Structure 1
Amino acid sequence: MPKPDFSMPVAELAQMLARQAEAVCRYYLPAGRREGRYWLVGDVHNTPGRSLFVRLTGGGTGKGAAGRWQDAAEGTHGDLLDLIRECRGLTEFRDVAEEARRFLGLAGGDHAAARERRRHPVGHMASSLGACAIPGSQADDGSDPAPDAAQAQRAARRLFGMAQPLSGTLAETYLHRRGITRAALTGIDTLRFHPRCYHRSTPEAQPEPWPALLAAVTDLDGAITGIQRTWLDPDGFDPLDPIRLGKAPLATPRRALGLLLGHAVRFGTTARLEGGPVNGLLVAGEGIETVLSLRCVLPAIPMAAALSAGHLAALLLPAGLRRLYIARDADAAGDRAMVSLTERAIAAGVEAITLSPRLGDFNDDLRELGVAELRANLRVQLAPEDAVRFMTSG
């Protein structure tokens, strides 16, 4: 075992981790897997998925070096010290260094490294929402990652602007076959269709065009900060395939571009009634199809799809909000998001009410139980005055 070195600088500690990048990933991110030169996983908290990718090979200390990672959904990036920090929820670099030493089989503190990190905080603990890059692109290694974030947001806006309205497209057909009614899609301008939206299966693969449903992610002022792409099967919806449900036969038929954290895909009116935004109500959930399913029976209440459990927990709450309905998915991640968002809402003086599906999520309820059962389940969960005022009949 190497002897402890109390004067080891940060750069040397990071390089030692980088030389064992795959072992670091397998230990801290076991829900992921290796694909080519990258380790792919959902996020730094080891959520299954492919939004975060870690370089496993590459020399030097720049953006192409082993151990550098980027999260395309969160807009975060860093090295393996940052990854350990975020994964373990550590706040002090001394604790990060000790955890890294423990992994490497070293011992003791790292006072010199802590001093160096305090002098140069940006190069490593880069949890800024800046470098939001898509797989295959490079994040800025300098002290200001904002240009990458701005570039990603511009790309998202440009792609959304190139897409066509939803009506009469394969994307509209896809949503209808997921049980979403035509009335639920009325007046929505945050969903569009792109007939040839490029998909890259791995960071090194050649992009291939597929039809896609595009959803605009906006901030509280309505500005587009990103998009979600759902690639679709050009042959249509196969009712015998309960997994893809009309999505393209790709390993990752959904991907985000731009800045998502705190923002959402928004549906519904913003007109003011009785002095507040639709009486100060909002329904917030994870997926687009889940939230649109609720809109089938609650079309008058504004809704927000945060696109993941992690983003739902971090959703920014609008001014004037009085009551927040949190449409949870019936899984552990959904429970955690519900608890976190409930705590934040209560702290902001907002009443929080949880809406729970009978099956996995509300789109499962809509497709498998029908709109009447969905309506009946929601009616008993809403505040009585909201059920009377906003629930559609049927």
Structure 2
Amino acid sequence: MSVYSVSEIAEKINAQARELARELLPNGHYSQGRDKWMFSGIADTGKSASAWVHLSGPKIGKWFDMGNALPGEDKGDMLDLLRLKLGLADPRAAIEEAKARLGIVDDWMPGKPAKLSPAELERRAAEARARAEARDAEAERLRDAKARGAKSLYLKGGPIAGTGAEAYLHGRGIEGGAKWPGVLRYHPDVYLREQGCKVPAMLAAVYRADGTQIGTHRTFLQRDAAGRWGKAGVERPKRVLGSVWGGFIPIAKGSSDKSMRDMPEGEPVYVTEGIEDALVVRMIQPQARIVAAYSLGNVGAIVLPAAARRLIIVCDRDAKLMAQEQLERSIAQQQARGLDVRLVMPPEQCGGVPIKDINDWWLALKAQGPGIERAQA
């Protein structure tokens, strides 16, 4: 009797990710190393590169969308991609589609489980365990390699005082006070693929709660014709290097001045999507513990120490349904970990100016006069 398990079919169709990704997501493009297919979510508009399919390595066939994805469209494998892109009714239909593409003809019948011998079942289970162990080992090796590369770049950076990074932050109305957060660094020559050359960048280390650096965040910078510093004029001027899901950028240690690993019991943690918003919160609440998650989806993935009790999410004001649903999922994920989750959101307008995030609000308040922003915030 010839019968394939769902995991075996998934493994075989995932191995065809390089061909399938291009077929199902024609508006995407290869990453710099050609190991990922970058795309703009299931809609595949070609207007962004918030999502990617792994084309090689232990995660081959797995895809993730770090943008404002709809529920159920933020991650999956090739079976999920077939179901979503071809409009198939359910996972069973996706499996049948995969079998047809793979040329698999077996004896499986609905409602009639295969009667394999105990020896055959054990053989398949042993092979599955061996494959899983090999994938886990390769994934760990790649994670370590990416972390080393990300850390190496970060360590080559220097303090941001007096650099283009500081000028960029000043242009956003952000001051460092007596001292900028030590997590921020500046490097004058970081490679930017779209421009085919090295450009200045603000760097920030991405950590886990145990203090392990797992990646580096890069904000690519440029000067305009007037000499003002701003983000580089590319589609994604902010990017992360390394396996950073669940990590965060520590902006302020709070009044305790202790690391996240040693934080006091019950100390509230403020989290923002971006670095600039976190720095604004630092100006408003200098005694607070503050981290930046670098994306809305990652807000829910961060695992805080057991000492944490309350998480205060400083939200962007985004009217898109996808963003609102992503926020709800992040809240639910953190509540499932037992945290008391609170929200802080800027007003829709300030002085007639539309407000997107807390940095916009801060700039609008500053425009009304010296000192007003701190008084009203």
Preserved contact between residue 312 and residue 337 of structure 1 (Cα < 8 Å): no
**1:188-245 Cα shifts (integer Å, max 9, x gaps):** 11100000011223xxxx9520000001111213332111111101448888xxxxx8
Which residue is equivalent to 2:236?
252
Q: Distance in 1 between matches of 2:359 and 2:267?
A: 25
Q: Distance in 1 between matches of 2:43 and 2:215?
A: 22
Number of aligned positions between the proteins: 328
- Deviates most, 40-49 or 347-356: 40-49
Which residue is equivalent to 1:25?
25
Q: Distance in 2 between matches of 1:228 and 1:335?
A: 24
Which residue is equivalent to 2:328?
339
Give, as a single letter, the amino acid of the residue that structure 2 aligns with 1:233.
Q
Give, as a single letter, the amino acid of the residue that structure 1 aligns with 2:241.
L
SS at structure 2 position matched to 1:277:
coil
Which residue is equivalent to 1:40?
38
2:364 aligned with 1:356, yes or no?
Answer: no
2:186 aligned with 1:193, yes or no?
Answer: yes
Which residue is equivalent to 2:162?
168
Q: Distance in 1 between matches of 2:310 and 2:223?
A: 40
**1:1-394 map, 5 Å:** 10=9, 13-14=13-14, 19-25=19-25, 33-34=28-29, 39-41=37-39, 49-50=48-49, 52-54=51-53, 82-85=77-80, 98-102=93-97, 119-120=127-128, 144-183=138-177, 186-201=179-194, 207-235=196-224, 246-272=230-256, 277=264, 280-331=267-318, 332-358=321-347, 359-370=355-366
Q: Distance in 2 between matches of 1:376 and 1:97?
A: 60
Preserved contact between residue 328 and residue 334 of structure 1 (Cα < 8 Å): no
Preserved contact between residue 28 and residue 40 of structure 2 (Cα < 8 Å): no
Preserved contact between residue 200 and residue 207 of structure 1 (Cα < 8 Å): yes
Q: Post-superposition shift, 1:35?
A: 5.4
User: CA distance change for structure 1 residues 149 and 70 in 2, over 3 Å: closer, same or farther?
Assistant: farther
Give, as a single letter, the amino acid of the residue that structure 2 aligns with 1:209.
K
User: CA distance change for structure 1 residues 278 and 252 in 2, over 3 Å: closer, same or farther?
Assistant: same
Preserved contact between residue 215 and residue 265 of structure 1 (Cα < 8 Å): yes
Give, as a single letter, the amino acid of the residue that structure 1 aligns with 2:330.
L
User: CA distance change for structure 1 residues 177 and 104 in 2, over 3 Å: closer, same or farther?
Assistant: farther
SS at structure 2 position matched to 1:319:
coil
Which residue is equivalent to 2:87?
none
- Relative to the length of structure 2, the TM-score reads 0.69
Q: Distance in 1 between matches of 2:222 and 2:302?
A: 31
| Aligned alpha-carbon RMSD (Å) | 4.6
User: CA distance change for structure 1 residues 169 and 17 in 2, over 3 Å: closer, same or farther?
Assistant: closer
SS at structure 2 position matched to 1:370:
helix
SS at structure 2 position matched to 1:267:
strand
SS at structure 1 position matched to 2:214:
strand
Which residue is equivalent to 2:118?
none
Preserved contact between residue 284 and residue 326 of structure 1 (Cα < 8 Å): yes
Give, as a single letter, the amino acid of the residue that structure 2 aligns with 1:188.
P
Which residue is equivalent to 2:72?
none
Give, as a single letter, the amino acid of the residue that structure 2 aligns with 1:199.
L
| 5+ long unaligned stretches in structure 2 | 68-74, 85-89, 115-120, 348-354
SS at structure 2 position matched to 1:144:
helix
SS at structure 1 position matched to 2:150:
helix
Give, as a single letter, the amino acid of the residue that structure 2 aligns with 1:314.
A
Q: Post-superposition shift, 1:50?
A: 2.8
Give, as a single letter, the amino acid of the residue that structure 2 aligns with 1:175.
L
SS at structure 2 position matched to 1:354:
strand
Q: For the pair shown, which has the larger CA radius of gyration, 1 or 2?
A: 2
SS at structure 2 position matched to 1:165:
coil
Preserved contact between residue 300 and residue 334 of structure 2 (Cα < 8 Å): no
Q: Distance in 1 between matches of 2:256 and 2:211?
A: 16
Q: Distance in 2 between matches of 1:6 and 1:238?
A: 67
Q: Post-superposition shift, 1:6?
A: 6.2
Preserved contact between residue 177 and residue 237 of structure 1 (Cα < 8 Å): no
Identity fraction in percent? 25
User: CA distance change for structure 1 residues 34 and 157 in 2, over 3 Å: closer, same or farther?
Assistant: closer
Preserved contact between residue 220 and residue 231 of structure 2 (Cα < 8 Å): yes
